[in-house]
Amino acid sequence: MTAQINRRSLLSLGVGLGISVNFLGSQAFAASEGGLARKKLVVIICRGGMDGLSVSPPVGDPDYARLRGSIAMRRDEVLMLDDTFGLHPELQAVHALALKGEARIAPAIASPDRARSHFEAQDVLETGAAHVYGTETGWLNRTLESLAPIRRVEGLSVGSTAPLILRGKVQAASWSPGKLVDETARLPTLLQDLYKNDPMLGPAFARGLETEAMAQTAMTAMAASPAMNMAAASTPSMTPPGTPPGTPQMTMASQATAGDKQNKAGGDAARKLGATLGGFMIQAGGPQIAAVSLDGFDTHAGQPGQIATRLSYVDAVLDGLHQGLGPEWKNTLVIAVTEFGRTARVNGTGGTDHGTASTGLVLGGALKRGGIIGDWPTLSEKALFENRDTAPTLDMRGLFKGALADHMGVDRAILDSKVFPDSAGVRPLTGLV
Amino acid sequence: MMAAIAVTRFGLGARPGEIDAAKVDPQGFLIGQIRREGADIPQDGGDTSAQRFEQMRQYQQQRKMEREQKDGQADKTAANIQTFKDSQRELRDKVNADFLARARLGANTPAGFRERWALFWANHFTVSATKQITSVLIGPFEREAIRPYVFNSFENLLVASSTHPAMLTYLDQAQSVGPNSQVAFNAARRGGKSKVGLNENLAREIMELHTVGVDAGYTQADVTEFARALTGFSIGRDNEERAGQFVFRVNAHEPGGRTIMGRHYGQSDVAQGLAVLKDLAADPRTARHVCGQIARHFVSDTPPPSLTTRLERRWMETGGDLALVAKTLVESPEAWDPTPAKFKTPYEYALSTWRLIGAEPSAIERIAPILTGLGQKPFSAPSPKGWPEDAQTWASPDGLIKRMQWAQGFAATAADRTDPNALAVQALGDRLTPPVAKAVSRAETRKEAFALLVMSPEFQRR
Chain A interface, best mutation among B401, B433, B446, by max A CB count within 10 A:
B401
pLDDT surpassing 90 at residue B239 = no
- Per the structure, the complete domain to which residue B91 belongs is given by 49-74+84-127+137-149
Q: Order of strands, edge to edge, in the sheet holding A289-294?
A: A173-175, A155-158, A289-294, A40-46, A332-338, A358-363, A103-110, A394-395
Predicted pLDDT of residue B191: 74
Q: Is residue B289 situated within a structural domain? A: no
User: Mind listing the pLDDT tens digit for each residue in A385-422?
Assistant: 999 999 999 999 999 999 999 999 999 999 999 999 99
Query: pLDDT value at position A225?
Result: 39
Query: Which residue among A159, A176, A255 sits closest to B132, beta carbon to beta carbon?
Result: A255
Statement: residue B436 has pLDDT above 80: yes
Rounded mean pLDDT, A80-106: 97
- Domain limit, last residue, from B282, B311, B331: B282
- In one-letter notation, the amino acid at residue B320 is G
Question: Is residue B173 included in any domain, yes or no?
Answer: no
pLDDT of A250 above 50: no
Nearest CA in chain A to B174: A349
CB–CB contact A205 B400 (8 Å): yes
Q: Mean pLDDT throughout B263-281? A: 97
Residue B296 lies in a domain: no
- What is the reported pLDDT for B61? 86
Question: Residue B264 is inside which H or E element, if any?
Answer: strand B263-265
Confidence of residue A234 (pLDDT cuts 50, 70, 90): very low
Indicate if the pLDDT at residue A427 is higher than 80: yes
Q: Is residue B315 part of a domain?
A: no
pLDDT above 70 for A364? yes
* CA dihedral of A173, A175, A180, A183, whole degrees rounded to 10: -10
Chain B contact for A68 (CB, 8 A cutoff): no
Q: What is the pLDDT of residues B167-205, one digit of tens each?
A: 999 999 999 999 999 999 998 888 766 678 999 999 999
Q: Find out whether A350 and A384 touch, Cβ atoms under 8 Å.
A: no
How many angstroms separate the CA atoms of A268 and A265, rounded?
A: 5
* Contact call for A253 and B128, based on CB within 8 A: yes
CA–CA distance, B368 with B365 (Å, rounded to integer):
6
pLDDT interval class at A15 (50, 70, 90): very low
Cα separation, B7 vs A426, whole angstroms: 51
**Tens of pLDDT, residues B23-47:** 999 999 999 999 999 999 999 878 9
pLDDT of res. A31 = 42
- Distance from C-alpha of A295 to C-alpha of B375, rounded to nearest angstrom: 12
State the pLDDT confidence band at A119, using cuts at 50, 70 and 90. confident
pLDDT band for position A11 (50/70/90)? very low
ipTM: 0.91
Least confident interval from A425-429, B77-81, B345-349? B77-81
What is d(CA A262, CA B114) in angstroms, rounded to the nearest whole number? 39
- Same domain, yes or no: B191 and B262: yes
Alpha carbon dihedral B269, B272, B273, B279, in 10-degree steps, equals: 160
Residue B361 inside a domain? The answer is: yes
What CATH code would you report for A39-419? 3.40.720
Between B193 and A128, the higher pLDDT residue: A128
Average pLDDT over residues B273-291: 98
pLDDT digits (tens, 9 = 90+) for A311-349: 999 999 999 999 999 999 999 999 999 999 999 999 988
Percent of chain B beyond pLDDT 90? Answer: 82
Backbone phi, then psi, for B235, in 5-degree steps? -125, 140
Residue B159 has pLDDT above 70, yes or no: yes
CB A124 within 8 Å of CB A131: yes
Does residue A269 surpass a pLDDT of 70?
yes
Asked whether the predicted pLDDT for residue A264 surpasses 80, the reply is: no
Chain A residues inside the 8 Å CB shell of B91? 242
pLDDT of residue A33: 53
Same domain, B188 and B272: yes
Query: Strand A79-80 and strand A86-87: pairing?
Result: antiparallel
What local confidence, expressed as pLDDT, does residue A28 receive?
Answer: 38
Q: Is B365 on the interface with A (CB under 8 A)?
A: yes
Q: What is the pLDDT of residue A307?
A: 94
Q: Verify that B276 and B357 share a domain, yes or no.
A: no
Residues B145 and B203 in one domain: no
Q: How many domains does chain B have?
A: 3
With a cut of 60, say whether residue A239 has pLDDT above it: no
| Average pLDDT over all residues of chain A | 82
**Predicted confidence band of residue B60 (pLDDT cuts 50, 70, 90):** confident
What pLDDT score does A4 carry? 32
Question: Is 60 exceeded by the pLDDT of residue B73?
Answer: no
Domain co-membership, B272 together with B356? no
CA A211 to CA A224: how far, in whole Å? 20
For A45-77, write each residue's pLDDT tens digit: 999 999 999 999 999 999 999 999 999 999 999
Same domain for B354 and B438? yes
Asked if residue B416 is part of any domain, the answer here is yes
Q: Which of B402, B298, B287 is nearest to B6 (CA)?
A: B298
- Residue A353 to residue B436, Cβ atoms within 8 A: no
Q: How confident is the model at residue B85 (pLDDT cuts 50, 70, 90)?
A: confident
Q: Average pLDDT for residues B348-360, to the nearest whole number? A: 95
Nearest to B455 by CA among B315, B379, B353: B353
Nearest to B131 among A188, A191, A255 (CB): A255
Q: What are phi and psi of A174, to 5 degrees?
A: -135, 150
Domain assignment of residue B314, yes or no = no
For residue A160, list chain B residues with Cβ-Cβ distance below 8 A.
373-375, 396, 398-399, 402
Q: Where in chain A is the domain with CATH 3.40.720?
A: 39-419
pLDDT for residue B349 is more than 90: yes
B310 in any annotated domain: no
Among A358-362, B11-15, B52-56, the least confident range: B52-56
